[in-house]
């Protein structure tokens, strides 16, 4: 009888140890799940995914360019007005331009790069021209 009691006591101790390990693992998993569901961690994960995806970057850049172009065009063409009809038309124009620009962002980006390169080349050429004549002057 004592032998059976000792065996049962050992089995109970083993099961209690197993239960303690499983409770610890469950608590750890609960902490990991809790941390992953925090809003700040969700935002960090989303931003990390956005920054690692070139497709999302390209779409975001196009979207940002579109919004900026729409806003600038509204401010330039409509300006400040108290007329509600002009405000409504300006907002409609802003969203239309933003949509068109964001859908054609790649083409606009290429053309913009060409303009910048042409501008920089013309500045470089004009500096060269100035350099040719800059040494001829004497006092």
pTM for the full model? 0.42
pLDDT, tens only, 62-94: 788 888 888 888 888 888 888 888 888 888 888
pLDDT value at residue 26:
95
How many helices and strands, by DSSP H and E, does the chain display? 5, 0
- Among 133, 53, 66, smallest CA distance to 105 is for 66
Mean pLDDT computed over 6-21:
94
**DSSP string across 78-122:** T-S---HHHHHHHHHHHHHHHHHHHHTHHHHHHHHHHHHHHHHHH
How confident is the model over 14-70, as pLDDT tens digits?
999 999 999 999 999 999 988 888 888 888 888 787 777 777 777 777 788 888 888
The Cα-based distances of 60 to 47, 54, 105, 107, 129 in angstroms read 12, 10, 10, 15, 41
Closest CA to 105 of 138, 57, 73, 34: 57
């Amino acid at each position: 009888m004592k032998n059976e009691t000792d065996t049962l006591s050992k089995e109970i101790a083993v099961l209690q140890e197993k239960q303690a390990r499983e409770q610890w693992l469950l608590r750890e998993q609960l902490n990991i799940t809790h941390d992953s569901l925090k809003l700040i961690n969700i935002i960090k994960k989303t931003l990390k995914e956005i920054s690692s995806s070139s497709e999302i970057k390209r779409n975001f850049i196009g979207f940002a360019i579109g919004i900026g172009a729409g806003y600038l065009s509204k401010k330039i063409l409509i300006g400040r007005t108290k007329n509600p009809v002009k405000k409504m038309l300006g907002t409609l124009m802003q969203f239309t331009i933003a949509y068109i620009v964001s859908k054609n962002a790649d083409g606009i980006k290429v053309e913009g790069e060409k303009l910048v390169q042409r501008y920089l080349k013309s500045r470089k050429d004009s500096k060269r021209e100035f350099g040719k004549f800059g040494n001829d002057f004497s006092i």
